[in-house]
């Protein structure tokens, strides 16, 4: 079935110093699929996104990705032979070696689909397959906040808590494609530990995700009726992590307490990971950033996270570990996917020579 070409926010950049070859990146999400062309230095040459339309199934989305990339190339000064390889990031769980997306929570129609090979056939290019969070972590490592670091961890705080670990210029995928699941490390092993969305107790995601922040706030709101949040949820929409963040930025005591506790939970998680991996830097990405580096609340949140990590870490880690906000935002995924395609391409060249 031919699909209407629904692309928006097409953004073609043709920097004079584009370094060929190009690499295509595809970042599949439950709502949108972001695609782009990235040059050999990691500069974004062109990018767009289109709705996932998951009711039409994965093959339709793959075909759409090809159509959208055709359009981007047509509008750019480049052509398909300039594109050497592609990278693909999707939500897990997945089987990376077999190129399969297994049972994604947000993409029910995509179960057990051979997504890597389908994209490779559609683009007629080799495709490197990665967890979407690992792809984003690679994007930050390659050209984002981590570009001056040799090993990095990205923790994404959103509906869930995801992450990617980059060591030796590669994501840590693990033996079963379940490596880097930083949201599911245990930070509370008491009987009172919170239940995680995955069905186990005490995981970081059950404390620091957007939904966990909402749940924790709701539990204390019933006792603390003087919070601005009581008034806000009485007036309009259901409570959200953004409302908690905005209330904290406005000085609301309860919201400030929730933000501070979130920083402590996240700091505990980072402390565990720092002593296992000892990376050069951690970066915080995702929608839950409490305003990020540009705001007083965001910087305060980061300071609290750093203080919690320092308090519980070996001296070298306490003194030297960098913890900052990520920089690429929603572009990290397709840029990183393209970068992983580039790495595989470079390996093949090295093997041939």
Where do contacts with Zn ion occur on this chain (CB under 5 A)? 184, 196, 198, 203
Maximum Cα interatomic distance, the chain, rounded to a whole number of Å = 70
Q: Which is nearer to Zn ion, 125 or 216 (CB)?
A: 216
User: Nearest distance from residue 204's CB to Zn ion, in Å?
Assistant: 8
User: Nearest distance from residue 157's CB to Zn ion, in Å?
Assistant: 14
Q: Which is nearer to Zn ion, 125 or 184 (CB)?
A: 184
Q: Which is nearer to Zn ion, 107 or 196 (CB)?
A: 196
Residue 19 CB contacts under 8 Å (≥ 6 apart), including other chains: 39, 40, 41, 43
User: Nearest distance from residue 200's CB to Zn ion, in Å?
Assistant: 5
Residue 199 CB contacts under 8 Å (≥ 6 apart), including other chains: none
Please, what sign has the CA dihedral across residues 205, 207, 208, 212? positive
Which residue, 94, 134, 101, 104, is CA-closest to 115? 101
Q: Which is nearer to Zn ion, 193 or 264 (CB)?
A: 193
Q: Which is nearer to Zn ion, 125 or 203 (CB)?
A: 203
User: Nearest distance from residue 110's CB to Zn ion, in Å?
Assistant: 21
* Angle, CA 101 vertex, CA 36 and CA 56 arms, to 5°: 70
Cβ-proximal residue to Zn ion, closest one: 196
**Tokens representing 115?**
């997504």
User: Nearest distance from residue 67's CB to Zn ion, in Å?
Assistant: 37
User: Nearest distance from residue 68's CB to Zn ion, in Å?
Assistant: 34
| H helix and E strand count, the chain | 11, 13
User: Nearest distance from residue 163's CB to Zn ion, in Å?
Assistant: 12
Q: Which is nearer to Zn ion, 95 or 188 (CB)?
A: 188
| Nearest-angstrom CA–CA distance, 227 and 245 | 13
Q: Which is nearer to Zn ion, 204 or 243 (CB)?
A: 204
* Calculated CA dihedral for residues 228, 238, 160, 150, nearest 10 degrees: -40
Which residue, 180, 207, 179, 212, is CA-closest to 268? 207
User: Nearest distance from residue 93's CB to Zn ion, in Å?
Assistant: 12
Q: Which is nearer to Zn ion, 127 or 288 (CB)?
A: 288
Terminal Cα distance for the chain, rounded: 43
**Tokens representing 197?**
């969305």
| Nearest-angstrom CA–CA distance, 146 and 153 | 9
In degrees and rounded to multiples of 5, residue 339 shows phi and psi of -65, -35
| Nearest-angstrom CA–CA distance, 164 and 181 | 8
């Amino acid at each position: 079935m031919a699909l209407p070409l629904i692309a928006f926010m097409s953004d073609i950049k043709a920097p004079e110093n584009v370094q060929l070859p190009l690499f295509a990146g595809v970042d599949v999400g439950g709502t949108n699929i972001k695609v782009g062309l990235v040059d050999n230095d990691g500069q974004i040459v062109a990018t767009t996104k289109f709705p996932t339309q998951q009711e039409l199934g994965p093959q339709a989305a793959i075909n759409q990705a090809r159509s959208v990339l055709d359009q981007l190339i047509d509008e750019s000064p480049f052509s398909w032979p300039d594109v050497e390889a592609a990278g693909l990031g999707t939500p897990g769980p997945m089987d990376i070696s077999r190129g399969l997306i297994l049972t994604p929570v947000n993409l029910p129609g995509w179960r057990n689909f051979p997504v890597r090979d389908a994209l490779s056939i559609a683009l007629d290019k080799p495709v490197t397959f990665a967890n979407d969070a690992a792809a984003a972590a690679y994007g930050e490592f390659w050209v984002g906040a981590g570009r001056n670091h040799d090993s990095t961890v990205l923790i994404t705080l959103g509906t869930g808590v995801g992450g990617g670990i980059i060591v030796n210029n590669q994501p840590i995928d693990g033996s079963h494609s379940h490596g880097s699941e930083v949201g599911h490390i245990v930070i509370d092993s008491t009987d009172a530990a919170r239940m995680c969305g995955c069905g186990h107790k005490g995981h970081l995601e059950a404390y620091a995700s957007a939904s966990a922040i909402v749940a924790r706030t709701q539990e204390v709101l019933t006792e603390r009726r003087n919070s601005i949040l009581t008034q806000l949820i009485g007036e309009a929409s259901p409570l959200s992590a953004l409302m908690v963040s905005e209330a904290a930025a406005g000085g609301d005591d309860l919201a400030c307490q929730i933000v501070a506790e979130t920083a402590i939970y996240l700091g505990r998680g980072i402390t565990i990971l720092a002593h296992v991996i000892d990376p050069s830097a951690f970066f915080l990405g995702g929608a839950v950033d409490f305003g990020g580096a540009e705001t007083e609340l965001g910087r305060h949140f980061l300071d609290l996270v750093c203080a919690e990590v320092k308090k519980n870490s070996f001296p070298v880690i306490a003194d030297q570990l960098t913890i900052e906000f990520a920089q690429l935002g929603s572009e990290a995924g397709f840029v990183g996917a393209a970068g992983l395609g580039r790495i595989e391409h470079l390996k093949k060249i090295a093997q041939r020579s």
